[in-house]
Amino acid sequence: MATEGRKKLAPYLLTLPGVAFLVVFFAIPMATVFSVSFQEGSLSKGFTFTGHYQNYTETLARYDTQLIRSLLVGLIVTILTLVISYPMMYWIAFRGGRRKNIYLLLILLPFFTPFLIRTLMWKTIFADEGILLGALKDIGLLPESYQVLATATAVVAGMTYNFLPFMALPLYVSLEKMDPRLLDAAADLYSSRRQAFLKVTLPLSLPGVFAGSLLTFIPAVGDPIDPELLGGVNTTMIGQVVQREMLTNNAYPRGSAISFMLMAAILIGVFLYARALGTEEMTG
Amino acid sequence: MMSNMSAVRLEGITKAFKDIVAVDNIDLEVKEGEFLSFLGPSGCGKTTTLRMIGGFEQPTSGKIFLGADNVDGLPAYKRNVNTVFQSYALFPHLTVAENVAYGLKRKKVARDEAKKRLEEILELVDLPGYGDRRITQMSGGQQQRVALARALVNRPGVLLLDEPLGALDLKLRKQMQLELKRIQHEVGITFIYVTHDQEEAMTMSDRIAVMNAGHFEQIGAPQDMYELPATEFVASFLGASNLLDGEVEGGDGNMARVKLAVGTTVSVPTDRMPAERGSVRVGVRPEKLHISSDVSANGHGSNSVDAQVMVSTYIGVSTSYECRTTDGSKIVVYVQNLGNAAQPIGAGASVRLSWDPEHTFAVGANGGDK
């Protein structure tokens, strides 16, 4: 009896360390942040829970531009990474042959350097008189006043680059595990290469597209570093706002409220996206 | 079922991958309604030949005709052939019905007609009512049937089958062999079947094309090929054969005389001799031999050699004797265990093996080339 009971408990016991970790370091802080988002006060006087929902309404009215801009930039970055990495990963998965892993390594190699360094390097590239713009201006292809840095273009470009592997790797996995004989079968059943792609390859890669989109979109929307280093006053994003409220203004309730609104917005977006792609493909 | 119209014709087909010649200048004609098998060891070029007929590979040189049409350069999706793939290659994201109807949809067959054909074909492969299942819910044998249905529903001129039963266990494979034969008979479509299993090829085929190293060794009805293999390769690949080295000594009009390396001279009908003279290998099937422990008797047939039993194995339906002649050649004999059989001959006994000249064949001595 005793061993029987233990056998039944074993799977739960195995999850215990993970569950405990998540409760202590995720669930409790989340609950705390949620509670803080309804508090009032200041760092010196202390914060008290008053059910102050104006933390939400007031900050939303104040930062709606930044929130919408962040969601929009996240969307654009997700689409760009998808469009750039899909053909690349398709080629590696189906045509890479024995060198598949070398090609993958080549793509990942730059990402062995820290995020911050990579973004600073883009700053060098985009500098008004830097190696790219400086040269183009010297030969007269660009006007002297032309600038990329401190514009939305620079932010989107930097983020697209930084988040590329998060899209590329899940895509690669879903394309690589596809049996290439399915394409023979599609051709056998009167599909041109274009039809075979649309009817077989694309649907089978949707789980990869979905996973890649989540891994790109969610961190991109809240990313404070790319807009900070590559953007300007007109490209402030919600991640920077949270950072400023929390670390500079010490306005914890407002920062918490923004974080929760951001989370809600992302959840709604992801839900709509999953519905659009079809949950069947996601699970099956 | 078979007509005189040709369903597939290959003329001088060669396929080279870089510096490897996979298929070497082959010719073949397959009749409409015929069940023809490509039989050979792995790497002999049988699958490559099938893929060229299907349009998945283009030949390096030569011409392919489907019916009366030359299909050179035509991609797979424009050919009136369908394929049952080795691992089925069913679409995992589609249901059984969606898989089967895939080709009909691409060909834009009207909806009512497509639905009717879908139901008919699921009935034919014994899977009625399975349309809504997902592929992952089907067993290996069922997946095999779905793959067959997906190809047959399009009513192709020729159905290509690439080792379709290879993934099934023996019992299911035997059952599917008969099933495939029944289905082929019912639909009357030309089947070209690739296999490395000689028993499978013998059971199912109207004709077998034995392939080796990129060319056909012999093409013919299973029985004809078994009784009179044209090459050493066919003799040993299609069933078991005893092959003894010998030199042609001459003979009269009907019978050639061959002096065996072991010493005795045997008769071989002239029409069962290879074209060339000189060194040959004389063959006889194990079940055609008679074994006698009385070495002075000349019981059955006028051809005989003396040997010693090395191993005697009782298999129930028959007893198998592995014998060795004085020059070291191995000869296998199968003796059916009929009724009140005599005591089996034990290992070590000296025996005389005899057989009818009519059951003798000879092949060229050099690696089986014609």
Residue position matching structure tokens 């089907």 = B138
DSSP β-bridge partners for residue B134: B95
Q: What is the mean pLDDT of residues B245-273?
A: 89
CA distances from B24 to B30, B75, B229, B359, B369 (A): 18, 22, 21, 32, 14
CATH topology for B240-364 is OB fold (Dihydrolipoamide Acetyltransferase, E2P) (2.40.50)
Chain-chain contact of B56 with A184 (C-beta, under 8 angstroms): yes
Q: How far is B345 from A265, CA to CA, in rounded Å?
A: 89
B202 touches chain A (CB under 8 A): no
Tokens encoding B99:
């898989």
Q: What is the mean pLDDT of residues B205-224?
A: 96
Question: How far is the alpha carbon of B175 from chain A, nearest alpha carbon, in Å?
Answer: 25
Is A265 domain-assigned? yes
Chain A hits for B55, CB-CB cut-off 8 Å, are 187
Is A36 domain-assigned? no
The amino acid occupying position B136 is T
The pLDDT of residue A55 is 93
The pLDDT of residue B297 is 66
Q: How far is B327 from B52, CA to CA, in rounded Å?
A: 47
The pLDDT of residue A284 is 40
Is A176 domain-assigned? yes
B67 phi/psi in degrees, rounded to 5: 60, -125
Is A45 domain-assigned? no
Nearest CA-CA partner of B146 in B162, B132, B127: B127
Instruction: Assess whether pLDDT exceeds 90 at residue A28.
Output: yes
The pLDDT of residue B2 is 62
Q: What rounded mean pLDDT belongs to chain B?
A: 91
How does residue B370 score in pLDDT terms, banded at 50, 70 and 90? very low
Q: How far is B129 from B113, CA to CA, in rounded Å?
A: 18
Q: Where is pLDDT greater, at A280 or B219?
A: B219
How does residue A280 score in pLDDT terms, banded at 50, 70 and 90? low
The 10s digit of each residue's pLDDT in B143-185 is 999 999 999 999 999 999 999 998 889 999 999 999 999 999 9
**Cβ proximity of B204 and B37 under 8 Å:** yes
Q: Out of B81, B89, B107, name the one closest to residue A185 (CB).
A: B89
Q: What CATH number does the domain containing A77 carry?
A: 1.10.3720.10
The pLDDT of residue A278 is 73
Strands (E), A2-70: 39-42, 46-49
Chain-chain contact of A184 with B106 (C-beta, under 8 angstroms): no
Sign of the C-alpha dihedral computed for residues A22, A27, A32 and A34 taken in this order = positive
The pLDDT of residue B195 is 95
Is A131 domain-assigned? yes
Instruction: Assess whether pLDDT exceeds 80 at residue B27.
Output: yes
Q: How far is B255 from B268, CA to CA, in rounded Å?
A: 6
The pLDDT of residue A145 is 86
Q: Out of B89, B106, B151, name the one closest to residue A184 (CB).
A: B89
Q: What is the mean pLDDT of residues B313-332?
A: 90
Question: How far is the alpha carbon of B79 from chain A, nearest alpha carbon, in Å?
Answer: 8
Domains B6-232 and B240-364 share a fold: no
The 10s digit of each residue's pLDDT in B82-136 is 999 999 999 999 999 999 999 999 999 999 999 999 999 999 999 999 999 999 9
Nearest CA-CA partner of A272 in A203, A201, A214, A221: A214
How does residue B327 score in pLDDT terms, banded at 50, 70 and 90? confident
Q: How far is A259 from A252, CA to CA, in rounded Å?
A: 10
List residues in chain A touching B: CB distance below 8 A: 179, 181-182, 184-192, 195, 199-200, 203-204, 281, 284
The pLDDT of residue B300 is 63
How does residue A129 score in pLDDT terms, banded at 50, 70 and 90? confident
CA distances from B97 to A279, B104, B106, B114, B357 (A): 20, 11, 14, 11, 58
How does residue B1 score in pLDDT terms, banded at 50, 70 and 90? low
The 10s digit of each residue's pLDDT in B298-307 is 666 689 999 9
Is A236 domain-assigned? yes
The pLDDT of residue A143 is 87
The pLDDT of residue B369 is 42
What's the DSSP call for residue B344? Answer: P
The pLDDT of residue A11 is 86
Is A52 domain-assigned? no
How does residue B4 score in pLDDT terms, banded at 50, 70 and 90? confident
Residue position matching structure tokens 């599609």 = A186
Per-position DSSP letters for B184-229, written without gaps between them: HHHH--EEEEEES-HHHHHHH-SEEEEEETTEEEEEE-HHHHHHS-
The two beta strands, B361-364 and B158-162, are unpaired
Specify the number of domains making up chain A. 1
Q: What is the mean pLDDT of residues B240-253?
A: 88
Please tell me which residue of chain A has the smallest CA distance to B151.
A189
Q: What is the mean pLDDT of residues B301-318?
A: 89
Sign of the C-alpha dihedral computed for residues B330, B336, B337 and B339 taken in this order = negative
The pLDDT of residue B167 is 84
The 10s digit of each residue's pLDDT in A56-111 is 999 999 999 999 999 999 999 999 999 999 999 999 999 998 999 999 999 989 88
Is A106 domain-assigned? yes
Percent of chain A at pLDDT exceeding 70: 96
Structural domain boundaries of chain B?
6-232, 240-364
- Say whether B246 sits in a helix, a strand or coil: strand
Strands (E), chain B: 6-17, 20-31, 35-39, 61-66, 69-70, 81-84, 158-162, 190-195, 207-212, 215-220, 242-251, 255-260, 265-269, 279-284, 290-292, 303-314, 318-325, 330-336, 350-355, 361-364
Tokens encoding B57:
């590979």
Question: How far is the alpha carbon of B138 from chain A, nearest alpha carbon, in Å?
Answer: 15
B82 touches chain A (CB under 8 A): yes
Nearest CA-CA partner of B198 in B39, B35, B42, B45: B39
How does residue B366 score in pLDDT terms, banded at 50, 70 and 90? low
The pLDDT of residue B368 is 41
Instruction: Assess whether pLDDT exceeds 70 at residue A3.
Output: no
Question: How far is the alpha carbon of A282 from chain B, nearest alpha carbon, in Å?
Answer: 11
B90 phi/psi in degrees, rounded to 5: -75, 150
The amino acid occupying position B349 is A
Instruction: Assess whether pLDDT exceeds 60 at residue A281.
Output: no
Tokens encoding A52:
């102050």
Instruction: Assess whether pLDDT exceeds 80 at residue A2.
Output: no
Q: Which domain holds residue A124?
A: 58-283
Class of domain B6-232: alpha beta
B240 touches chain A (CB under 8 A): no
Q: What is the mean pLDDT of residues A17-26?
A: 94
B134 touches chain A (CB under 8 A): yes
R_g of chain B, CA atoms, integer Å: 25
b/e map B101-119, b = 16+ CB within 10 Å = bbbbebeebeeeebeebbe
